């Protein structure tokens, strides 16, 4: 609450807002001229306000992009209301994707300006593009959802095979996330949303099984796996996939109904079914064990299942077995690797049901196990995509800042310092302007490789946007060593690069900040390295300077 007599400085609110804010004047000839912009515009796009303010749209953007943006602004003016769109724009910081909200502003009864609010969604776009490359190659439906308190739920990506499973096209889901979430069965909806919000709070991987309603009123069971990722503005991305597990669910239900039905289904099931006692001895395995794991059922019967489980997974399996016999019905399931007869290891996920004898005593456990090796590989790939830059393969801004946060916590606990290097390429914009973004992206990959060869194997390098990189020098690092490594990186990037017989000469400026000398918090340390880098650039570049 603002106290009585307090003065609100709306100029400061505009100037220091975290998202880019731009005011565009609508001139009588139809031109759009930039008349006001806040600090975030310069910080995130790399376009200086001195260049932007007073310029018309065509002075700032390439012709094709200027035409598209002008059309959006005209649509905003014609409708006289808020218009939202997504636009990819070439900036000195690289090719960025922006989610833009444009609103007309009227003065003296006449529309005179367009006010823009933009949000950088480049990371979201990059992950969605990489998921699109996996579409059709992997089982299940790939998806990417986002949640923020301001925007609620949004669908960022849905693979094309969603039509066959959900009766919903990717375009329909992206346009209206309610069409996707509305497929969740009403009896399961609240649970799924509650689990998702808990996942967003803890940033732990999520797995859940629930029902969906198809377009033709059929009810299917699906299993959802996803990995959450929190962006700098607080938005949480959920990247994962859905699998149809209706057959398994029906099988589990059928197995509870009758032993005869159990026997019939077991012999023909696609999942491996086995029974074990409290010691782990196998008293029954279904015939398909041989098809999936190589052993004939007779070879496995009466042996202990621990002989086939990976040594690293045995403690977890034994703990699960003990807990289940102590409290029957505690069925969280268990996941472990199983050895094939030829020595290969496969991931299996098992659901477990109790089997009682005639007196009601728990005698055996029945495992219904499914090969999840492909899903495990997919989870690893999704995690890699969520944490790595699409162009260079280096860790992205979100992953690097998370690792920097861990380093700060560890340094505060142990008292052992480290160094942070902020690197900005020199003359990189000229490469994009002269040779195009394709050559620019290939150059960035080569830059990343040279940086990795110039630093130590224990250090971490990440691309944080455009032509900017950060390097975390782990362990106890002296100012002399940190400066030496920074200069070694500069020297490595000063040598010419050759791409398609074209010789490209760039360079780099590096700022070096030390913990705790230059800061004990992430913002302070990053700012110190950033300031030192700009000092190096002002001196002609090609060198590293200590903060």
Catalytic residues: 467
Work out the number of other CB atoms within 10 angstroms of the CB of residue 43: 11
Among 90, 87, 78, 88, which Cα is nearest to 114's? 78
* Burial group, residue 401, by CB count within 10 angstroms (0-12, 13-18, 19+): middle
Among 54, 100, 96, 52, which Cα is nearest to 73's? 100
The residue written with tokens 């162009």 in the block is 391
Strands 497-499 and 544-546: what pairing?
Answer: unpaired
Work out the number of other CB atoms within 10 angstroms of the CB of residue 188: 15
Residues making up the chain, counted from first to last: 547
Among 75, 85, 84, which Cα is nearest to 26's? 75
Strands 544-546 and 508-515: what pairing?
Answer: parallel
Work out the number of other CB atoms within 10 angstroms of the CB of residue 168: 20
How far is Cα 25 from Cα 53, in angstroms, rounded to an integer? Answer: 11
355-386 burial string, b = 16+ CB within 10 Å, else e?
Answer: beeeeeebebbbbbbbbbeebbebbeebeebb
How far is Cα 462 from Cα 451, in angstroms, rounded to an integer? Answer: 10
Tell me the DSSP string of 318-375.
HHHHHHHHHSTT----EEEEEE-TTS-EEEEEEEEEEEE-TTS-EEEEEEEEEE-HHH
Strands 282-285 and 110-120: what pairing?
Answer: unpaired
Work out the number of other CB atoms within 10 angstroms of the CB of residue 515: 23
The structure tokens listed for 50 are 């001195």
- 184 contacts: CB under 8 Å, gap ≥ 6: 192, 210, 211, 212, 213
């Amino acid at each position: 609450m603002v106290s009585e007599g307090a003065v609100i400085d709306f100029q400061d609110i505009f100037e220091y807002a975290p998202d880019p804010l731009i005011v565009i004047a609508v001139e009588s000839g139809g031109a759009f001229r930039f008349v006001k912009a806040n600090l975030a515009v310069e910080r995130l796009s790399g376009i200086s306000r001195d260049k932007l303010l007073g310029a018309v749209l065509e002075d700032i953007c390439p012709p094709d992009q200027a035409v598209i943006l002008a059309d959006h602004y005209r649509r905003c003016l014609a409708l006289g209301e808020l218009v939202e769109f997504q636009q990819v724009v070439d900036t000195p910081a690289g090719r960025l994707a922006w989610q833009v909200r444009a609103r007309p502003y009227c003065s003296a009864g006449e529309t005179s300006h367009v006010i823009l609010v933009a949000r950088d969604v480049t990371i979201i776009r990059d992950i969605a593009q990489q998921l699109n490359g996996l579409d059709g190659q992997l089982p299940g439906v790939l998806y990417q959802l986002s949640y923020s308190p301001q925007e609620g739920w949004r669908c960022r990506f849905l693979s094309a095979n969603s039509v066959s499973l959900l009766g919903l096209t990717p375009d329909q889901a992206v346009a209206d996330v309610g069409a996707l979430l509305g497929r969740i069965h009403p009896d399961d909806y609240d649970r799924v949303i509650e689990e998702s919000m808990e996942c967003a709070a803890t940033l732990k991987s999520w797995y859940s099984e629930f029902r969906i309603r198809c377009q033709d009123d059929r009810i299917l069971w699906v299993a959802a796996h996803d990995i959450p990722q929190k962006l700098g503005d607080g938005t949480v991305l959920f990247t994962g996939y859905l699998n149809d597990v209706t057959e398994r669910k029906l099988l589990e239900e059928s197995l509870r109904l009758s032993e005869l039905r159990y026997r019939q289904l077991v012999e023909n099931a696609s999942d491996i079914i086995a029974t074990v006692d409290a010691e782990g001895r196998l008293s029954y395995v279904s015939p398909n064990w041989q098809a999936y794991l190589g052993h004939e059922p007779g070879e496995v019967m009466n042996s202990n299942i621990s002989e086939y489980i990976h040594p690293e997974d045995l403690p977890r399996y034994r703990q699960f077995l003990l807990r289940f016999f102590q409290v029957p019905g505690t069925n969280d399931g268990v996941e472990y690797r199983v050895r094939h007869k030829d020595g290969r290891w496969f991931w299996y996920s098992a659901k477990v049901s109790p089997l009682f004898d005639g007196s009601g005593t728990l005698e055996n456990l029945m495992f219904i196990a499914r090969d999840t090796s492909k899903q495990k590989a997919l989870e690893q790939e999704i995690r890699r995509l969520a944490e790595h830059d699409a162009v260079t393969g280096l860790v992205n801004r979100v992953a690097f800042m998370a690792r920097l946060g861990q380093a700060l916590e560890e340094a505060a606990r142990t008292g052992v310092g480290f160094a942070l290097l902020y690197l900005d390429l020199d003359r990189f914009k000229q490469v994009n302007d002269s040779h195009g973004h394709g050559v620019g992206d290939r150059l960035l990959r080569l830059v990343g490789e040279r940086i990795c060869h110039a630093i130590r194997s224990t250090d971490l390098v990440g691309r944080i946007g455009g032509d900017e990189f950060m390097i975390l020098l782990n362990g106890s690092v002296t100012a002399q060593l940190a400066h030496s490594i920074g200069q070694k990186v500069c020297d490595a990037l000063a040598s010419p690069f050759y791409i398609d017989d074209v010789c490209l000469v760039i360079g780099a400026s590096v700022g070096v900040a030390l913990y705790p000398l230059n800061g004990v918090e992430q913002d302070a340390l990053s700012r110190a390295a950033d300031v030192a880098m700009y000092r190096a650039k002002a001196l002609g570049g090609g060198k590293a300077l200590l903060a």
